[in-house]
Copies of this chain bind each other. A is one copy, B any other.
Amino acid sequence: MSSYCLGVDIGGTKVAAGLVDECGTIRHRTRRDTPDRSRSPQVVEDTIVDAVEELLEVAREEDARVEAIGVGAAGFVGADRATVVFAPHLSWRDEPLQQGLTQRVGLPICVDNDANAAAWAEYCFGAAREETHLVMITLGTGIGGAIVTNGALQRGRFGIAGEFGHMQIVPDGMRCECGNRGCWEQYASGNALVREARALIEARSPVSHDLSARLGGDPSALVGPLITEAARDGDPTARELLTEIGQWLGVGLANLAAAIDPGLFVIGGGVSAAGELLLAPARESFRRRLPGRGYRPEAQIVVAELGPDAGLIGAADLARTSL
């Protein structure tokens, strides 16, 4: 009889769920759109339960056992791993998610931050399989992150460690949605990449010709993957934009190396699809700033291996581990 754990990854735009085996392989999967944030918190919970019930039915049909459910959520998850303290994209505040879901689906449930779940997956089954001390950076619209030390997730005193994107790296810098200025994610994220490209295009800069042509007259078509594609095709402007993002990425990684001293940085999230176009300048910038460089061992910087499935796989495995 097969034994699965069920992983759920709740992001700002989609809810992904899957049945995951002990080797981190997703055997069945489903997805839903995340309800609009103007809807009540209950609607998100209904969406999760709907996806979970679909997969429990699949497991019943193949006579498999589902041991537990792990939920990774884009937000602050309390140290109790039961409550979502704050999730701006899901209009949750002090939401007792574990309690609500347990009552409705009758299985053990673990709640964690989505970047924690992704880091755990990369540690168990992905790019960090051979490393005990890693820092995960998820480069999406913003920057998420997580810390694994001696094989254990470091959640912090209140459960909110790893919010690297809001470390200030530029005094009086760009305004961030968090209310501060100069946050790292304003300089090294998908949003930063698109913002800089848009500035060139709107100014009708001659260097933005290639990017503009790719939009086909539709400004909303300007997204990170389009810039990455242009860079891969050799557009020097797109390459420069990715180089700048990478250089700022390296600044923050050097700061994290000074504070936390991991053996490995795993770079995930949508922007990491740019691969070496991003990581080569990040490594150079990192090495130029690492305190004690030349007098100490240096952390490696690699791309995540599990892609967008990492959160789902990690959430499921964290639930299994906690049994």
CA distance A255 to B297 in the complex (A): 24
Contact: B261 with A178, CB < 8 Å?
A: no
B260 and A161 within 8 A (CB): yes
Chain B residue contacts of A147, Cβ below 8 A:
259-260
Q: Which of A148-156, A190-198, A217-225, A303-311 contacts B (4 or more CB under 8 A)?
A: A148-156
Do A259 and B259 form a contact, CB below 8 Å, given A86-B292, A169-B171?
Answer: yes
Other-chain residue from B154, B251, B297 in contact with A158 (beta carbon distance below 8 A):
B297
Residue of B nearest to A178 (CB): B291
Interface size class of A (residues with CB under 8 A): 35 or more
Q: A155-B261, A169-B169, A255-B167 are in contact. Are A160 and B292 (CB under 8 A)?
A: yes
A86:B295 contact, CB within 8 angstroms:
yes
Which B residues touch A160, using CB under 8 A?
261, 292, 296
Pairwise interchain contact A255-B168, C-beta atoms closer than 8 A: yes
B157:A299 contact, CB within 8 angstroms:
yes
Q: Flag whether A4 is at the interface (Cβ < 8 A).
A: no
Shortest A102–chain B CB gap in Å is 24
Shortest beta-carbon distance, A128 to chain B, in Å?
Answer: 11
A174-194 interface mask toward B, CB cutoff 8 Å, 1 = contact, 0 = none? 000011100100000000000
A302 in contact (CB, < 8 A): no
Shortest Cβ distance from residue A78 to the other chain B in the assembled complex, whole angstroms: 9
A166-B258 contact, Cβ under 8 Å, with A76-B296, A157-B299, A263-B157: yes
A133 to chain B, nearest CB (A): 4
Separation of A132 and B179 alpha carbons in the complex (Å): 30
Bound CA span A264–B167, Å:
18
> Which residues on B sit within 8 Å (CB–CB) of A158?
261, 263, 296-297
CB-defined contacts of A161 to chain B, threshold 8 Å: 259-261
**Contacts A158-B296, A259-B162; is A168 near B169 (CB within 8 Å)?**
yes
User: Does A200 interact with chain B (Cβ within 8 Å)?
Assistant: no
Most chain-B Cβ atoms within 10 A of its Cβ — which of A86, A168, A299?
A168
Does any Cβ of B come within 8 Å of A36's Cβ? no
* Complex Cα gap A158–B149 (Å): 12
Q: Which residues of B contact A169 (CB under 8 A)?
A: 168-169, 171
Q: Bound state CA distance, A258 and B170, in angstroms?
A: 15
Asked whether any CB of chain B lies closer than 8 Å to the CB of A70, the reply is: no
Please indicate the chain B residues that have their CB under 8 angstroms from the CB of A256 in the complex: 259
Q: Which of B156, B179, B254 contacts A133 (CB 8 A)?
A: B156
Tell whether A164 is near chain B: CB-to-CB under 8 Å: yes
7 closest Cβ pairs, A-B complex? A156-B261, A166-B291, A157-B263, A133-B157, A161-B261, A86-B295, A167-B255
